[in-house]
């Protein structure tokens, strides 16, 4: 459905962030993209969704293909219309709009305006808490509710491919659990293909059909979650399950901060 082939992204004409990034997302699956802070995960998503322009970033090489067509030269609005919707990192709800207006904003590109009410009801069945808060200003919702709203807003666009950028960021474990369950339900019930970016590798590997691990602007490892979970490096650096005596000291220092993140 979606393929990135050797994509290169440069910010401000000089900062090379993606260096030959390739991945594939098959239709109907959940694919996880894992990696530590600064690896280039968000940049990858923005390259796909056409959101690099406001940050002065550009795809300078390689290609991004969605349903057989190159999309890396289209602008963001066209890409949304083709069925790709990104739920941005940090939720980014429209703070001064209420919950319902946020959902309407999500449906902006929809042509079948008549079905919008019905889809709003569907969002409320996935997230009953949003129904209670439908008239509340989004800026005053809790972090978890904002994340639900961000996902609900994406559902309103009825995308074929939903890309989620760190939906677990800053949320309590129970809420994260709840949100991940709903992501799985959306995938099963709506048939929405999902590309999930996470730092929380353990959880992401639970729900994904396939996973990529990226470092420094390119993929370093990929495979089925079951295989990856057995990989010694993944266990050590991404799942925090190091086996005593097996650490190499300089890497240990280098990855110390990171590993702490994965543990949380």
Partner 1 sequence: MEKFLQLTLTGLTNGAIFSLVALGFVLIYKASDVINFAQGDFLLVGAYITFAFVGQMGLPWTVGVFLTMVLAVLLGLLVERFVLRPLIGEPIISVIMVTIGLSSMLRAFVSSIWGTTGQPFPPFIPNFNVNIGTAVIPADRIIAIILAAILLIIFTLFFRYSREGIAMRATADDQQAALSMGISVKKIFALAWSIAAVTAALAGVLVANIIGVSGVVAGIGLRVFPVVILGGLDSIPGAILGGIVIGLLEAYTGGYLGSGLSQVVPFIVLILILMVKPYGLFGEVRIERV
Ligand X SMILES: Nc1ncnc2c1ncn2[C@@H]1O[C@H](COP(=O)(O)OP(=O)(O)O)[C@@H](O)[C@H]1O
Q: Helices 99-106 and 116-126 meet at what angle, rounded to 10?
A: 120
Choose the contact partner of 11 out of ligand X, Mg ion, partner 1, none; CB within 5 to 8 A by kind.
Answer: ligand X
| Given 10, 39, 48, 175, the residue binding ligand X (CB under 6 A) | 39
Q: In the chain, which ranges are E strands?
A: 2-11, 15-25, 30-34, 57-66, 69-70, 84-87, 161-165, 193-198, 210-215, 218-223
CA distance 246 to 140: 47
| Contact set for Mg ion, span 33-72 (CB under 5 A) | 42
- Report the nearest approach of ligand X to the CB of residue 15 (Å): 5
- Report the nearest approach of partner 1 to the CB of residue 52 (Å): 10
| Residue 168 near Mg ion by CB under 5 A | no
Q: Total number of residues binding ligand X (CB under 6 A)? A: 14
| Given 19, 65, 94, 241, the residue binding partner 1 (CB under 8 A) | 94
Nearer to Mg ion, 76 or 116 (CB): 76
Choose the contact partner of 88 out of partner 1, ligand X, Mg ion, none; CB within 5 to 8 A by kind.
Answer: partner 1
| Residue 200 near Mg ion by CB under 5 A | no
Among the listed residues 246, 257, 206, the one whose alpha carbon sits nearest the alpha carbon of residue 34: 206
| Residue 96 near partner 1 by CB under 8 A | yes
Nearer to Mg ion, 17 or 30 (CB): 17
Angle at 199 between CA 221 and CA 127, to 5 degrees: 125
Among the listed residues 164, 242, 232, the one whose alpha carbon sits nearest the alpha carbon of residue 203: 164
Choose the contact partner of 85 out of Mg ion, ligand X, partner 1, none; CB within 5 to 8 A by kind.
Answer: partner 1
The dihedral sign for the CA sequence 97, 194, 212, 248: positive
| Given 17, 23, 148, 213, the residue binding ligand X (CB under 6 A) | 17
| Binding segment toward ligand X, per CB under 6 A, in 34-42, 131-139, 147-155, 223-231 | 34-42
DSSP string, 19-69: EEEEEEE-TT-EEEEE--TTSSHHHHHHHHHT--GGGTEEEEEEEEEETTE
Among the listed residues 102, 85, 198, 199, the one whose alpha carbon sits nearest the alpha carbon of residue 141: 102
- Mark 38-57 with x for binding to partner 1 (rule: CB under 8 A) and - for no binding: -----------xxx--xx--
| Given 109, 122, 136, 184, the residue binding partner 1 (CB under 8 A) | 109
Q: Total number of residues binding Mg ion (CB under 5 A)? A: 2
| Contact set for ligand X, span 40-79 (CB under 6 A) | 40-43, 55, 57
CA distance 179 to 45: 20
Interface with ligand X (CB under 6 A): 11-12, 15, 17, 35, 37-43, 55, 57
């Amino acid at each position: 459905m979606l393929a990135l082939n050797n994509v290169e992204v440069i910010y401000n004409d000089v900062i090379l962030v993606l260096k030959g990034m390739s991945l594939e997302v098959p239709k109907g699956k959940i694919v996880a993209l894992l990696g530590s802070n600064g690896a280039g995960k968000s940049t990858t998503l923005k390259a796909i969704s056409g959101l690099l322009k406001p940050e002065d970033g550009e795809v300078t090489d390689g290609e991004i293909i969605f349903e057989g067509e190159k999309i890396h030269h289209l602008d963001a609005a066209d890409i949304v219309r083709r069925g790709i919707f990104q739920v941005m990192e940090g939720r980014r709800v429209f703070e001064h709009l209420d919950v319902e207006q946020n959902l309407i904003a999500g449906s902006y590109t929809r042509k079948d305006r008549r079905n919008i009410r019905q889809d709003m009801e569907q969002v409320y069945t996935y997230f009953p808490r949003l129904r209670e808060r439908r008239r509340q200003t989004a800026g005053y919702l809790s972090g978890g509710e904002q994340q639900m709203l961000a996902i609900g807003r994406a559902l309103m666009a009825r995308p074929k491919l939903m890309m989620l950028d760190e939906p677990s960021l800053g949320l309590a474990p129970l809420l994260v659990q709840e949100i991940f369950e709903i992501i799985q339900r959306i995938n099963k019930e709506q048939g929405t293909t999902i590309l999930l970016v996470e730092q929380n590798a353990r959880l992401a590997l639970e729900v994904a059909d396939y996973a990529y691990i990226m470092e420094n602007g390119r993929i370093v490892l990929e495979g089925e979650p079951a295989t990856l979970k057995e990989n010694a490096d993944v266990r050590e650096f991404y799942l925090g399950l190091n086996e005593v005596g097996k650490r190499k000291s300089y890497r240990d220092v280098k990855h110390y901060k990171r590993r702490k993140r994965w543990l949380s």
